[in-house]
Chain A
Amino acid sequence: MSVNTILEFKDLSFSYKKNSNLVLDGFSMQISQGEVVAVLGPNGTGKTTMLMLALGWLSADSGQVELESRPLEQFSRCELGQKVSLVPQFEPTFFDFSLLDFALLGRAPYLGNFSMPKEEDIEIAFQALKKVGMEDKADRSVMNISGGEHQLVLLARALTQQTELLLLDEPTSHLDIKNKSRLIAILKELVTEGKTIVFTNHEPDVAAMISDSVIMVKNGRVIHSGKVDEIMTGANLTEVYDTRIEAGELSSRKVFLWD
Chain B
Amino acid sequence: MIFIGLTLLLLAIFVLSLLAGRYPEAGFMSFEQIRSEEMAAAIVFKVRLPRAILAVFLGMSLAAAGTVMQMIFGNPLVDPGFLGVSQGAAFGAGLSIVFLGNSPWLIQGSAAFFACLGLFSSYLVARKIRYGSWVLRLILAGICVSAIFTSLLGIMKYAADPTSQLAELTFWLLGGLSSITWAEVKFVVPIVLLCLIGLLLFRWRLNILALKDYTAFSLGVSTTVERAFILILAVIAAATVTAVSGLVAWIGLIMPHLARRIFGADARYALPGSMLLGAIVVLVCDDLGRVLLPHEIPLGIITSLFGALFFMSLMMTGSVGVKR
Measuring CB to CB, which residues of chain A are less than 8 angstroms from any residue of chain B? 52, 55-57, 77-82, 84-86, 88, 91, 93-98, 101, 105-106, 108-109, 111, 113-117, 141, 143, 161, 167
Contact = CB atoms under 8 A, between A and B. Distances in A.
A101 B260 CA distance: 13
B227 interface: no
Q: Which of A82, A95, A106, A143 has the largest number of chain B CB atoms within 10 A?
A: A95
A105 B211 contact: yes
Interface string B202-245: 10110110111011011111100010000000000000000000
Contact of A86 (B215, B226, B266, B321): B215
B151 interface: no
B218 A101 contact: no
Given A86-B214, A96-B260, A98-B266, A80 B201 contact: no
B265 interface: yes
Nearest to B229: A113
A93 B204 contact: no
A52 B214 contact: yes
Nearest to B269: A101
Interface string B38-82: 000000000000000000000000000000000100111000000
A106 B207 CA distance: 11
Given A96-B260, A101-B266, A161-B219, A117 B214 contact: no
Given A80-B220, A81-B221, A97-B264, 7 more contacts: A56-B217, A78-B220, A81-B219, A85-B218, A88-B215, A101-B266, A113-B226
A220 B103 CA distance: 64
Contacts of A114: 201-202, 205
A166 to B, nearest CB: 10
A115 B204 contact: yes
Interface in B283-300: none
Contacts of B316: none
A117 B264 contact: no
